[in-house]
């Protein structure tokens, strides 16, 4: 299939079919489709999982009415992209009836923890902030194990996040409203290679 300026590599339905087939045939293979590009979501390591456990615990302590979901989302302005965040903070039952790819409307925050792969820079630091901002997700939390920094993107304007706050691991950072949680990032120093 040829790519034109107004047509991505494949249509949303084609991607959904491909993603289902990949999940059935190869254990752990998770595909994403962002900015018209097919990508593979990296397999997580133990420290990655531990960071997500820590964040889940912190969020549940402060906001017990919310849960950190593992949910694929339809993203970008026209919901033609498909992302698998490492976590989606939303009300407990937000995605109860959702399939593999949910409407992101209930999401208060999406979380990505960088993986040690060659695609991390483009995917987590460029494509996903744009896609999540276009979608209108209020907060994007990036835990960057390469730079040992936490970045909070907030105030999406439909094209980008207008506010970006960055702190090194060890400092406190506030997850903007509607999340409204402060994180002491000191424990993150224990989970980087």
Task: Kindly state whether residue 28 falls inside one of the protein's structural domains.
Answer: no
Domain contains 16:
no
What are the E-state strand segments in 78-138? 81-83, 87-91, 101-102, 109-113
Q: Is residue 26 part of a domain?
A: no
User: Whole-prediction pTM value?
Assistant: 0.85
Looking at 31-35, 140-144, 176-180, 186-190, which range is the least confident one?
Answer: 31-35
Pairing of strands 149-156, 181-184: unpaired
Question: Which domain covers residue 153, as residue numbers?
Answer: 44-72+84-191
pLDDT digits (tens, 9 = 90+) for 131-170: 999 999 999 999 999 999 999 999 999 999 999 999 999 9
For residue 166, being part of any structural domain is answered with yes
Q: Does the residue 8 lie in any domain?
A: no
Whether residue 119 is contained in a domain is answered as yes
Q: Residue 131 belongs to a domain with what CATH number?
A: 3.90.1570.10
**Is residue 171 included in any domain, yes or no?**
yes
Is 36 a domain residue? no
Total domains in the chain come to 1
């Amino acid at each position: 299939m040829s790519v034109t300026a107004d047509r991505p590599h494949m249509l949303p339905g084609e991607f959904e079919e491909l993603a289902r087939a990949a999940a059935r045939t190869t254990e752990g293979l998770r595909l994403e489709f962002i900015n018209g590009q097919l990508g593979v979501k990296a397999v997580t390591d133990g420290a990655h999982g531990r960071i997500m456990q820590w964040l889940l615990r912190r969020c549940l302590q402060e906001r017990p009415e919310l849960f950190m979901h593992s949910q694929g989302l339809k993203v970008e302005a026209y919901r033609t992209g498909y992302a698998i965040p490492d976590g989606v903070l939303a009300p407990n039952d937000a995605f109860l009836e959702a399939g593999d790819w949910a409407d992101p409307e209930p999401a208060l925050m999406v979380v990505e923890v960088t993986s040690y792969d060659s695609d991390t820079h483009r995917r987590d630091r460029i494509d996903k902030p744009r896609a999540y901002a276009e979608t209108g997700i209020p907060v994007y939390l990036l835990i960057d194990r390469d730079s040992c920094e936490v970045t909070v993107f907030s105030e999406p304007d439909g094209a980008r996040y207008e506010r970006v706050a960055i702190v090194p691991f060890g400092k406190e950072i506030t997850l903007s409203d509607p999340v409204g949680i402060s994180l002491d990032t000191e424990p993150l120093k224990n989970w980087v290679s």
